[in-house]
Amino acid sequence: MIAEDSVLLRVGLVKVLETAGFEVAAEVGDAQALLTAMAEHRPDLAVVDVRMPPGFTDEGVRAALEIRERWPDTAVLMLSQYVEERYAAHLLASNTSGIGYLLKQRVADVEEFIEALRRVADGGTALDPQVVAQLLVRRRSDPLERLTEREREVLALMAEGRSNAGIAGALVVSESAVAKHINNILAKLDLPKADADHRRVLAVLRFLGV
């Protein structure tokens, strides 16, 4: 299910999704049509643009919240020209599983975008690094100051919703090193240890004030 008002991009998105092996049930151009199509097709994943007609403000966010309320099992990936931490907070307020919020331009890095799509479709989280950066600028002298530079990088990647393997790949280190960093971070920030990835994301995001 794709909701995007720019026809050009919609065509591109369909191509990317089909390349990744997803089946596109419907594609629409505004929030109202999105909800109608959702009720009809009940897809597993909705890729939704934030700014859509008629108001071109945050229709996509509101539609996404309604989708999560009416069909809680549906994964939603929001795309936007600019990401705003406030919208992320709205989206992640109830739970973080099966939610993604990425800059539109991330679609251009096809492989990474498909990886994020799969993560969200499987009930994980995919937050844009920009969102995490925005969450981090708002912190003043607090436990975060106690983290080393490396630990801060790991924390940001954790907040994006990446798995240990994903973090290890991004930083080019071994998974065991990542696990050690994560343990240190959770200890320094007084966060509970969690086995499941999305529980860990939830804890980190709550700590960052989402």
Distance CA 160, CA 155 (A): 9
Which residue from 36, 57, 94, 148 is in contact with other proteins, where contact means CB under 8 A? 57
- Min. distance of Cβ 60 from other proteins in angstroms? 12
- Does residue 84 interact with other proteins by CB under 8 A? yes
Q: Please identify, using beta-carbon distances, which residue of 138 and 195 lies nearer to other proteins.
A: 138
- Does residue 209 interact with other proteins by CB under 8 A? no
Surface-to-core class of residue 136, CB atoms within 10 Å of its CB (0-12 exposed, 13-18 middle, 19+ buried): middle
> Which one of the spans 28-36, 53-61, 165-173, 190-198 is the region binding other proteins (CB under 8 A)?
53-61
Residues touching other proteins, count (CB under 8 A): 37
- Does residue 127 interact with other proteins by CB under 8 A? no
- Does residue 54 interact with other proteins by CB under 8 A? no
Asked if the bond preceding 54 is cis, omega within 30° of 0, the reply is yes
Q: Please identify, using beta-carbon distances, which residue of 44 and 84 lies nearer to other proteins.
A: 84
- Does residue 130 interact with other proteins by CB under 8 A? yes
- Does residue 93 interact with other proteins by CB under 8 A? no
Q: Please identify, using beta-carbon distances, which residue of 90 and 199 lies nearer to other proteins.
A: 90
- Does residue 32 interact with other proteins by CB under 8 A? no
- Does residue 137 interact with other proteins by CB under 8 A? yes
Binding site for other proteins (CB under 8 A): 6, 8-9, 11-13, 15-16, 19, 51, 56-58, 81-87, 104-105, 107-111, 113, 130, 133-140
